[in-house]
Amino acid sequence: MTERIDEAKGRTKEAAGDLTDDKALKREGKIDRAASTAKEKIDQAADKLKDKVGSGRDRDRDRESD
């Protein structure tokens, strides 16, 4: 959720920088968008890791019950 907010902030800053010819604001917007993308990728990787760890635990429990 916060990734979407950061993405929107970045796009807004980038557009405002474009309209006002403020290169620093435009650059800040690009940085915000990149940070949003990075956060999203990290969250996806964490979810995959949790799924793998969880499935490994389930497999271990199944082996113990045999």
Distance (Å, whole) CA 35 – CA 57: 33
- Residue-wise pLDDT for 20-62, tens only, equals 999 999 999 999 999 999 999 999 999 999 998 887 666 656 6
| 10 within 8 A of 33, measured Cβ to Cβ | yes
Where do we find the tokens 């990075």?
38
In this prediction, residue 55 carries a pLDDT of 76
For the chain, which residues make up each domain, given as ranges?
2-65
Where do we find the tokens 């793998």?
52
Which is it for the CA torsion 58, 59, 63, 64, positive or negative? Answer: negative
2 compared with 60, residue with greater pLDDT: 2
pTM of the predicted model, to two decimals? 0.70
Distance (Å, whole) CA 63 – CA 8: 48
In this prediction, residue 22 carries a pLDDT of 98
